[in-house]
Structure 1
Amino acid sequence: MTRIVVCAENSVTRVGLTAMATTAATQVVGQAACLGDLITWLQTQSADVAVVELSALTPELARDLMQITAAWPSADSLSILLLLETWENHWLLTPVMSTGGVSILPVTVSADQIKGAIATLAIGLMVLHPEIAETLSAPIGSAFTPVESFPEPSLEPLTPREIEVLNQLAAGLSNKAIATTLAISEHTVKFHISAILSKLGASSRTEAVAVGIRAGLVML
């Protein structure tokens, strides 16, 4: 079970992010109204992924993010999914991301994309939206590799139905929910998932989603 802490200034936004981040494979274990509160929360609590929404990245907020990643490096415990409304201060992105613990997406991404990103972070990979990547002021260090650049072995093609099921997995749906959504039986869902794992060389649903993202089958 992936443990998530949500951080956003607006209480309604926190409720929305909590709903989007909650799936059969994830649990929201805490909330914070600002990065300062998140730092305080992390001193006594723990999580695997912090979903943080900011209107913009300021030098002060960049400092706080770097403090968090320095104290709780993603390789050991915590990854940060940063949702930005604007990235006009793009010169701050590179130092923040070079710490190796922060992934960035626009705040406008869909709930399914957020769930897919969380699944990717949960297995130790990172994500970066192409629009944001174009604005980076300098190359990112070796601690971070954009999802698009991960080499992928030759994969056996998935059928259209298997791709549908894979995207439902990325959204965090259970077998029963997938069956209802696609109007098929749970037995058929299990059959498709087994085929997906085999074709993608994955050992779990989460790994299959991550491979699917890198292969362009699940879009972020």
Structure 2
Amino acid sequence: MEKVVICADQSVTRAGMAAMSKMATTQIVAQVGNLQLLEAWLQNQRADLAIIELSALGITESEAVFQMLEELPLEDALSVLMLLENGIEAQARESAAQLVGTGAVNIVPVDISANQLRCAISAIISGFNISHPSITETLFSQSDTAFSLAEPYLIDPLTTREVQVLNQLADGLSNKAIAQVLTISENTVKFHISAILAKLDVSSRTEAVSVGIKAGLVKL
């Protein structure tokens, strides 16, 4: 069971994030109101993932996260998922790029769906970095920090239709719903899903979405 701590300034936001993050493989162990309280909590407790909601990522927030990660014991490695409402301030792009470059910090827009959030959590727990492409492109096109997006490693690339089906899986749609969205039969959907699982060398829909995120095939 992966331990998750929620950090957001509003109690209603924290409750909503906790509900959206609820999964069979996760346990919400704490909810705190700001980065300072999160850092204090981590001094005495352990979590595998911190989900942090911020209105924007500035220099102050970047430095606080850096310090928090640096002060953790090596055996208490922490992954961070940031949900940003207003993006990254211009003066903080360099430090934000360094944060993402560590591999421990992932950044996505705050308006992702509940299912997309759960897929992101699953991917991070599996060891993937899933920062949103729009964020990484902005950061690393304007930063000197060395960084390269994950190279696709698929032995057998997915077809255009299979990528469409994979993205519908990421949205939590059933086979019937996918068939309706793509105007194909349920049997065809099942065929595509079987092909996706085989090509990605996974055994479940959740694993397929996690690998799809890693390969840049799934849009969060």
Return the offset for 1:30.
1.2
Helix, strand or coil for the counterpart of 1:18? helix
- Whether 1:15 and 2:20 are equivalent positions in the alignment is no
Residue of structure 1 equivalent to 2:68: 68
Residue of structure 2 equivalent to 1:153: 154
Residue of structure 1 equivalent to 2:59: 59
Structure (1/2) with the larger helix percentage: 2
Return the offset for 1:161.
9.4
TM-score of the two chains, using structure 2 as the length reference: 0.74
Return the offset for 1:37.
0.7
Contact 2:128 2:214 in 1 (8 A): no
Return the offset for 1:34.
0.5
Q: What's the Cα RMSD here?
A: 3.5
Return the offset for 1:66.
0.2
Contact 2:5 2:51 in 1 (8 A): yes
Gaps of 5+ in 1: 183-190
**Aligned-partner residue type, residue 119 of structure 2:** G
User: Which residue among 109, 114, 117 is the counterpart of 2:117?
Assistant: 114
Gaps of 5+ in 2: 179-190
Helix, strand or coil for the counterpart of 1:199? helix
CA offsets, 1:138-168, max 9 Å, x none? 14445xx53xx33222337589799768855
Q: What is the aligned length?
A: 206
Contact 1:200 1:208 in 2 (8 A): yes
Partner Cα separation in structure 2 for residue 160 and residue 74 of structure 1? 43
Residue of structure 1 equivalent to 2:42: 42
Residue of structure 1 equivalent to 2:188: none
CA offsets, 1:68-123, max 9 Å, x none? 22234899621100111122334242233233321111112222221121111111
Contact 2:156 2:199 in 1 (8 A): yes
Which structure 2 residues correspond to residues 1-220 of structure 1 after superposition, within 5 A?
A: 1-72=1-72, 77-86=77-86, 87-89=88-90, 90-91=92-93, 92-136=95-139, 137-141=142-146, 145-146=148-149, 149-155=150-156, 157=158, 168=169, 170=170, 197-202=197-202, 207-215=207-215, 217-220=217-220
Call closer, same or farther: CA 1:74–1:117 in 2, change over 3 Å.
farther
Call closer, same or farther: CA 1:56–1:156 in 2, change over 3 Å.
closer
**Sequence identity (%):** 42
Helix, strand or coil for the counterpart of 1:125? coil
**Aligned-partner residue type, residue 115 of structure 2:** D
Partner Cα separation in structure 2 for residue 108 and residue 151 of structure 1? 26
**Aligned-partner residue type, residue 143 of structure 2:** A
Partner Cα separation in structure 2 for residue 75 and residue 196 of structure 1? 36
Residue of structure 2 equivalent to 1:187: none
Partner Cα separation in structure 2 for residue 101 and residue 208 of structure 1? 22
Contact 2:4 2:27 in 1 (8 A): yes
Partner Cα separation in structure 2 for residue 179 and residue 45 of structure 1? 41
Partner Cα separation in structure 2 for residue 139 and residue 116 of structure 1? 30
